[in-house]
Every structure is written in C-alpha cells, then in structure tokens.
C-alpha cells in the first residue's frame, strides 16, 4: 500500500518521539520534509539518525537542505530536482 509519490508531508517535530509518525509516512512512500528548528541539537541529531535508518531500510534518500535545520526524505524512485543539485548531492546522507 503506497500513496502517490506527489504527496509531500511537512513536519515540525518538537521531540524525538515524533519520529515514529514521520517514519510511518516514509513507509507509505510519501515525500517528507522535516523542519528541526524547534528541537535541541541533540534531539535533532537523534531524530535524523533514526529517520536515516528508516530511509536506508526503505531504499530512499535523506538529504539535509543547505545549512537549514531541515531534512527531506525522498522514497525510492523519486528524483529530487533543483538548480543547486551539486550542493544538494553533497548533503545526501550515505548509507
């Protein structure tokens, strides 16, 4: 059961425990944007590590967007296009 890859869900988690709900959307093939501005540095690192593991398991990609406290998950088979692809590619979390 997957949703349309055109769906994008935006989250602004405030605690690590919000990661489970975010991972559920990733499992359904949705593009997910995570704004970590409301989290402490430690909590943001924990949730990003957790979601990186989920992305790996789902054969997707997790990309940090520039120097912002934002991360994008793209499911397998969904390309992320930007006029700044070189910069984005350098922020792909390798597994």
Q: What is the pLDDT along the chain (95 residues), one digit of tens a residue?
A: 555 547 899 999 999 999 999 999 999 999 999 999 999 999 999 999 999 999 999 999 888 887 678 999 988 888 777 665 565 555 555 44
The sheet carrying 31-35 orders its strands as 8-11, 31-35, 70-74, 61-64
Three-class secondary structure of residue 38 per DSSP: coil
CA dihedral 71, 77, 78, 84 (to 10 degrees): 70
Three-class secondary structure of residue 19 per DSSP: helix
């Amino acid at each position: 059961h997957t949703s349309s890859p055109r769906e994008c869900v935006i989250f602004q988690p405030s605690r690590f425990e919000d990661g489970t709900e975010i991972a559920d959307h990733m499992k359904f093939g949705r593009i997910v944007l995570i704004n970590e501005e409301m989290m402490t540095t430690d909590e943001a690192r924990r949730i990003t590590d957790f979601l990186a593991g989920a992305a790996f398991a789902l054969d997707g990609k997790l990309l940090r967007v520039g120097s912002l406290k934002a991360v994008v998950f793209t499911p397998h088979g969904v390309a992320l296009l930007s006029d700044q692809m070189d910069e984005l590619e350098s922020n792909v979390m390798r597994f």
